Amino acid sequence: ETMCRDMPQSLPSFLVARCGDPSFWIYSDQKCDGTNNCGDCSDELSPVTTCPPCGPGWWRCPSTVFGYCGCIPRSLCRDHTQHCSDWSDEYSCPGP
């Protein structure tokens, strides 16, 4: 437990990104990857992180359910499972 807690301090700062809750951290390459790595979406949403808008392979939702934040992969559109809180992934998203 002590080694894991001290890990961010032992890594170069460019490899570490803090989450909305500063006691949590992720590797920098996990920011803006579409996945909720911090647990509170702070790695995907401002004010902690400024990410580009959803790319062409993604669908923007007002909020998502489960592992994603503001966007979901289009491959999840129209798959008969709710991923967006407003169900737009099932009714509005054109699909992959």
Residue 87: give its domain's CATH number: 4.10.400
Q: Are residues 1 and 41 in the same domain?
A: yes
Give the pLDDT confidence of 75-88 residue by residue, as tens digits.
999 999 998 989 99
**CB proximity list for 83: less than 8 A, separation 6 or greater:** 61, 64, 65, 66, 68, 72, 76, 89
CA 74/CA 93 separation, integer angstroms:
8
Total number of domains constituting the chain: 2
Helix, strand or coil for residue 62? coil
The residue segments making up the domain with residue 58 are 53-95
pLDDT tens-digit profile, the chain (96 residues): 555 556 666 677 778 888 888 888 888 899 888 888 988 888 887 666 788 888 888 898 877 766 788 888 999 999 999 989 899 999 999 877
Q: Are residues 36 and 61 in the same domain?
A: no
Q: Are residues 59 and 40 in the same domain?
A: no
Q: Could you give phi then psi for residue 4, rounded to 5 degrees?
A: -65, -40
CA 71/CA 83 separation, integer angstroms:
9
Q: Are residues 73 and 41 in the same domain?
A: no
Q: Are residues 19 and 35 in the same domain?
A: yes
Q: Determine the pLDDT at residue 74.
A: 92
In single-letter form, the type of residue at position 64 comes to T
Contact call for residues 17 and 27 (beta carbons, < 8 A):
yes
Please state, in angstroms and as integers, the Cα–Cα distance from residue 89 to each residue in 10, 11, 19, 35, 55, following that order.
41, 39, 27, 16, 15
Q: Are residues 66 and 87 in the same domain?
A: yes
Q: Are residues 7 and 28 in the same domain?
A: yes
